[in-house]
Amino acid sequence: DVKVTQSSRYLVKRTGEKVFLECVQDMDHENMFWYRQDPGLGLRLIYFSYDVKMKEKGDIPEGYSVSREKKERFSLILESASTNQTSMYLCASSFSFRGRNGYTFGSGTRLTVV
Amino acid sequence: SQQGEEDPQALSIQEGENATMNCSYKTSINNLQWYRQNSGRGLVHLILIRSNEREKHSGRLRVTLDTSKKSSSLLITASRAADTASYFCATDDTGGFKTIFGAGTRLFVKA
């Protein structure tokens, strides 16, 4: 069964900490995405990557960075966590650019910054 | 407001009834997708309909697309308690480089 795996389901971090969220896919997809999901706001795109070492900003990249050193792994980094980054983070991958054949999502990481 | 807005925000029905959710969008699109999300989990892709298609079926799901009205509907027939979830539409607009998700419809199916 094809999968997108996010390393943590729940995470609690302190304000100012550097936080790493890891995502691994086993489908050999070139395209990977990080979204955050907040009540009433839907999914908002933070960053995406269409190839190894390539990254593009999404709608809300401020306060975040990403790393794509290997095709299967896409990491989201919160440089200095703040309480307004408390959210559900969803990683996704797709075969085609822009997800034209659908995205495969991970189970999500619920991050709480205290 | 967002591209891809679902209506209603929440829907509560009895098991066995049909559930209809609507999605409106603003710009021209290449395709429109529907996803389901169970509480606290990731999204699961349900169905994709292309801009040149008007209707698509998958099991108990029926999706329609009206590009002249910039709207889509998702019909779940003979609903089950296991259909309780949030449902999102996502649009892939012709001018941009990303897929945009709406805020979702929360469906409650009572046994």
Q: Does B99 touch chain A (CB under 8 A)?
A: yes
CB contact under 8 A, A43 and B88: yes
What residue in B sits closest to A99 (Cα-Cα)? B99
Instruction: Name the residue among A6, A56, A98 with its Cβ closest to that of B92.
Output: A98
Residue B2 has pLDDT above 60, yes or no: no
Query: What pLDDT does residue B90 have?
Result: 92
Query: What pLDDT does residue A2 have?
Result: 65
CB contact under 8 A, B43 and A45: no
Query: What pLDDT does residue B8 have?
Result: 87
In the predicted model, what is the mean pLDDT of residues A11-31? 95
Distance set, CA B109 to CA B43, B81, B85 (Å): 19, 5, 9
In the predicted model, what is the mean pLDDT of residues B35-42? 91
What is the spatial distance between Cα A37 and Cα A54, in angstroms, rounded to a whole number?
23
Residues of A in contact with B104 (CB under 8 A): 42
Query: What pLDDT does residue A48 have?
Result: 92
Neighbour order of strands in the sheet with B19-24: B5-7, B19-24, B71-76, B61-66, B55-58
Residue A98 has pLDDT above 90, yes or no: no
Q: CB-based contacts of B93: which residues, under 8 Å, 6+ apart?
A: B3, B25, B27, B28, B29, B30, B100
What is the spatial distance between Cα A29 and Cα B104, in angstroms, rounded to a whole number?
26
What would the pLDDT profile of B92-108 be if each residue is shown by its tens digit? Answer: 866 656 788 888 999 99
Q: What percent of chain B has pLDDT over 70?
A: 92
Residues of A in contact with B101 (CB under 8 A): 35, 42-43
Query: What pLDDT does residue A99 have?
Result: 60
Determine contact, residues A67/A77, Cβ cutoff 8 Å: yes
In the predicted model, what is the mean pLDDT of residues A24-39? 93
Residue A101 has pLDDT above 90, yes or no: no
Residues of A in contact with B4 (CB under 8 A): 42
In the predicted model, what is the mean pLDDT of residues A24-36? 93
Residue A1 has pLDDT above 70, yes or no: no
Closest listed residue to residue A7, CA positions, set A20, A15, A17: A20
Distance set, CA A39 to CA A75, B9, B50, B74, B103 (Å): 24, 11, 28, 21, 8
Instruction: Give the distance from CA B68 to its chain's centroid.
Output: 18
CB contact under 8 A, B98 and A98: yes
Mean pLDDT of chain A: 92
CA distance B16 to chain A (A): 28
CA distance A78 to chain B (A): 20
CA distance B19 to chain A (A): 21
Residues of A in contact with B63 (CB under 8 A): none
Determine contact, residues A110/A90, Cβ cutoff 8 Å: no
CB contact under 8 A, B102 and A42: yes
What would the pLDDT profile of B65-96 be if each residue is shown by its tens digit? Answer: 999 999 999 999 999 999 999 999 999 866 65
Residues of A in contact with B2 (CB under 8 A): 42
User: How many Cα atoms are found within 13 Å in the side-chain-facing hemisphere of B98?
Assistant: 19
Q: CB-based contacts of A27: which residues, under 8 Å, 6+ apart?
A: A2, A3, A4, A93, A95, A104
What is the spatial distance between Cα B56 and Cα A47, in angstroms, rounded to a whole number?
31
